[in-house]
Structure formats: structure tokens, C-alpha cells
Structure 1
Amino acid sequence: MDVTVRRFVAWDVADGKRVEAAPCNAILVHYVVTGTVTLVGTGEPPRNCAAGTMILTPPGLEISLLRATGDARVASALVFARLSGSFGLLDHATVLFIEDVSDAPMIQLAWETMVREAGKMPQALGTVALVSTLMKACILTVLCRFFQRPGSTPRIISALADPRLASAVASILQEPGAPHTVDRLAECAGLSRSTFARQFSQILGSAPMEFVAMTRLHYAAKMLRSSRMPIKTIAASSGFSSRSHFSRTFRQEYGSDPRAYRQQTGESAPADFSSEMPGPGPDARIQVDPVCVL
């Protein structure tokens, strides 16, 4: 799993003020440093989160944080987490991952280190790599605890647990731009076409070629963020027949064309770390990234 932290802030949740984290194409990670905050998520009842609580917000979900008690302080990060370089770790997740990790001193130490390192000005050499490595350990801790609960295993992991489907999924993730077809994937899995398509859809929640298309888009998005490769070349390497088809499909999924997306989210730009965030007004939506507000 590759983890890159693109934005890191530590901020105070002021009394009577509300901070909203709008949907974006990355994972938003929050850690309650002190006090208690009230979390309000789409489709979920309000929930108090005390110091030592971590919150992973998958891409596309929206939450709000309000001060509940004490001097509430939260550290937040905008994180890209990828499997096999193209598939987003929580892209198919539809729930928030909320875990009390106050009993894990190493996690507390990791967050203290991230806050301290992100607050150094100028930033020391290796700060981004250090913060990203520590963030990876924190995310894995939350996911391991969450997955230990009965019935909580996400679809992608369920698919990888089946060796037949795993071979097909791995083939897609490793080579998104390959000329995949249902017949070839079924052959890779050692199943008949109909059985493969049925089992794939049941476990992953999408048809095989829908999964291929989504994986190609994720791969293309990563290439746009992390390289200066021409867009036409990215389209071809991602398995799209033409740049126009790629641009149209990309815009439908990400809300902007590939060129604008690259300008907004390029991972090659320096990560934006800040130890402090200006106090927001009531119902503030704080800008933390060109494609995401916190």
C-alpha cells in the first residue's frame, strides 16, 4: 500500500463553530488530540469522539465536526492511499471508519510526531516521507481493528480472499490498461463466463468491466497527479481508445477534465503542511486543497 500525505493541519474546534469536510477524491483522516468533538456524518447519527479517536473518511463522504466538551483540538490530513498503484484503498467504502486508539501509545506518539514535524518551518528534509510513513501505520491500525468485527470485511478484501477471483482482480490492478474482457478474466479465474460474472458482481458489487473501467480511471488519475506524462499517453496506457473518450469518461467521474485535474491535484507539488489553521467562522468550510475543503 502506498500512502502519501498531501495536506496536514492541526486546529482548534472553537465553541459554537462548525467545520465541514466536503467530499473529495482522497481520504480525510482526523485524530482528536484533546477534548471531545461531535461527529455528524451523512446518514449517521451524531457521535461524540473523545481524545484518542481516529476517523477515516473515504472519498465521496461528507462529515462535520463540532466542539462537544473541553478544549477540543484535532489533527487532520488529506491522504492518498493506493493498492497496486492504481486502486484506491477505500474507494468502494461507504461507511466511516471510527476507532478509539487511545489504548495504543505508539499511535499517539505517531500523531504527536506528525504534528511536530509538520509544524517545522522550514520543513526538514524527509518530512513528507516521515509523515506519510507514520500515517500509513495509523491507517493500518484503524483498518485492522475495524476488520476484526464480524461482517466488516470490505468487498475488495473479500474478493482477494477467494483465490480464483483474486487472480482476476490482481490482473486488473497490475495492468489496468491491458485489453481485459470478461472471457479473459473468467479464464484467468478458472471459471465459466457466467459463473465468474455472477460471483464477481456478488462480491465486488459491480460487473467485471465496470470494475475494469473504474480501475483504469484511478490509474489515470494517479498518473496525472504523479507524472508529467502527456495526457494522450496516459489515456492510451490506461486502456482508453482515444483521448476524447478518456476525457469524457474522466470528467463524468471526477467532475473536471484531465488537464484541470492535474493542475489541481498534482502530487509532484510540495505537500502543504501547517501546524496551525486560522479559526473558522460559523459553519466554515476551510480550504485545505484545490480539490477539497475541510
Structure 2
Amino acid sequence: MDALANLLDGPRARGAFLLKVVLDPPWGIHVKDEATLALVTMMRGGGWVMLGDAAPMRMNVGDVVIARGPAPYVLADDPATPPQVVILPGDHCVTLWGEPLAEKLGLGIRTWGDSVDSGTMMLIGTYQISGEVSRRLLDALPPMMIVPAGTWDSPIIPVLADEIVKDEPGQSVVLDRLLDLVLITVLRAWFARAEAETPAWYRAHGDPVVGAALRMIYNDPAQPWTVASLADATGVSRATFARRFTELVGESPMAFLTDWRLVLAADLLQEPDATVGSVARKVGYGSSFALSAAFKRVRGVSPRQHRESLVAER
């Protein structure tokens, strides 16, 4: 498993919201759905996306916008066009006065807008992400970004556009996986860009020594790794490995390992049947006491207190 695979293991779509939007100018949509992550692909026409006080960003055909929620944003044919439609949590579409629009603007399966032949067509997909592993992905992204057409190449978008209007057995699973593929492809293109400010631990995967060590940590966190064993597995001296890892990742191998184990533990503790002891064994601690001590030292709360806080938030 590599860095991107690890990040995307959390935000894998499950029953994701997908919609084809077809509109004629002037149009404006205020998106207030509080989705954790959204993808907007411009299939026909063009438009603008606006987030808070930031400068409006132009969307051309083939561009993909990724918005990191839950902050609201506006999609419009022109920055001066005021929104006429609001999308609320639960994907409820209403007028500015709260009048439901789902029936009025419905154009068939997962299709909404003025007319199927309208000048503007967008595909919108949203994720509701939770968990510590997924948080690493979100923290690595800006609040909003555009990956322009021509900077990435994938045949997936036309397939998604065709499948989004179908209602066949297993369709939700097909759409989930297609949306995942779009996200992976777009993120790979984004992280390859100079302005992406890619996290150090992501860039470090390109190093033959540190990248190999990171994959070993990701793939087998329960292994009793030490600096010496990781150095031996990557074929360099202990001193060389420790120095190289710290320079490229920004923290020592053992600090990174501890953080990754506790991130995994925090997510595993959400599972209904999980015990502190069973989670401890999965992430490399010999006992519930050892995990509790590390969790409390690094996060300031015990595993049980962490789980209780998650239950209280639901």
C-alpha cells in the first residue's frame, strides 16, 4: 500500500451522492450540503466557483473542482449571478425561500435542472468522510482547487456520465467505484503539480529507501518495527536510514510509526465490536495498557474517552 492508497482507503465511496446538473444561463447554486469532500466536473459549457472571500475560479470543459467541506461555496455561470438554488444537507434542493425543488427540476434518474439539452452540464459527486486516516487526506488538500483539463488524462469521466443516469442492479456500487477512480486520478494529477504543496511524507514515497520503509509501516503496523529493523529491511545503515527518513518526512521513524499506529487505533475504536485489547494487537501494541498509555501521552485522552466522545457526537 502506498501513501495515496492509504489515504483513499478511508474516503472510499459508499452510497455516495451523484448528480448530473443541466442548466441554462443565468444560473447560480449555493452549495451548503456540508459534504466533507465534493467533486464537480464541467462536461459542457462553463462556469465559476466561489468560496468565501477568495477570488472566483473559472471552470472550463473538462476541468474538475475538488472542494474540501464543510464550508459552503457557490457555482454560477458568472460571478455576478446571484444564487437561485440552495443545496442543503441531505442533498435537499430548495429555493432561497426554502421551497422544495426536487420535483420541479427533476429530469430523470440522478438528473436535475432546466433541460437535458441545456448549455451547461456538470457532474457532482460528494463524500461524507469520517475518521482519522481520512483526515490526513483532507489536511493535505486546499479548501478548493481546480485540476484543469489537459493536465490529467482519464476515460473515466465519460463512463461516469453514462452510468449516472442508469438504474440497474448494483448501480450504486458501480457509481461508487467510478467516483473513487475519478478522485484517485484527479488527486494524482494534483499532487504532481508544483503548487500542490504536497506533504513531505507523500513526496518521500519517491525515495527508494524511505518509500520502502513507509510502505512496510503502512502494510504491517503490528510488526515490532525498530529503526534498526527498518534500516536492515531497506538495506542501509541505521544512522543513514534515521537521518534520511527524518530529512524527507520531517519526523523520526519512530515518531511517524507511533502517530500512524494511533491514527489507525482511533479509527478502529469506532467499530462496534472493537475492544482496546483487540485494537492494540492490530496496531502493534502488546497490551491494552500499552496502547492506552501511548494514546493518553500523545492525544491527551484514553482510548475509551476517545470512543465515548465519538458516540456523543453521533
Report if the CA contact (8 A) 1:87-1:173 is conserved.
Answer: no
How far apart, in 1, do the equivalents of 2:126 and 2:59 lie? 17
Report if the CA contact (8 A) 1:48-1:68 is conserved.
Answer: no
Please state how far the C-alpha of 1:5 moved relative to its aligned partner: 0.8
SS of the equivalent of 2:66 reads strand
Determine if the alignment matches structure 1 residue 208 to structure 2 residue 253: yes
Report if the CA contact (8 A) 1:36-1:51 is conserved.
Answer: no
Aligned to 1:139: 183
Determine if the alignment matches structure 1 residue 29 to structure 2 residue 39: yes
Structure 1 unaligned blocks of 5 or more: 265-289
Q: Which has the higher contact order (CA 8 A, sep 6+)?
A: 1
2:49 to 38, 48, 51: 38
Aligned to 1:56: 66
Please state how far the C-alpha of 1:130 moved relative to its aligned partner: 1.0
Aligned to 2:137: 90
The equivalences for 1:85-164 within 5 A come to 90=137, 93-95=140-142, 97-101=145-149, 106-113=155-162, 115-117=164-166, 120=167, 124-146=168-190, 149=193, 155-164=200-209
- Paired positions, count: 249
Determine if the alignment matches structure 1 residue 47 to structure 2 residue 92: no
The equivalences for 1:1-294 within 5 A come to 1=5, 2=9, 4-6=12-14, 7-10=16-19, 18-19=30-31, 24=36, 27-33=37-43, 35-40=46-51, 45-57=55-67, 64-69=73-78, 73=122, 75-78=124-127, 90=137, 93-95=140-142, 97-101=145-149, 106-113=155-162, 115-117=164-166, 120=167, 124-146=168-190, 149=193, 155-224=200-269, 228-232=272-276, 233-240=278-285, 241-243=290-292, 246=295, 257-258=306-307, 261=310
SS of the equivalent of 2:137 reads coil
The alignment's TM-score, normalised by the length of structure 1, stands at 0.62
Report if the CA contact (8 A) 1:10-1:76 is conserved.
Answer: yes
SS of the equivalent of 2:13 reads strand
Q: Of the two, which has the highest radius of gyration?
A: 2
The alignment's TM-score, normalised by the length of structure 2, stands at 0.59
How far apart, in 2, do the equivalents of 1:50 and 1:245 lie? 49
**Cα 1:107/1:222, change in 2 over 3 Å:** same
Question: Percent same amino acid at aligned positions?
Answer: 23
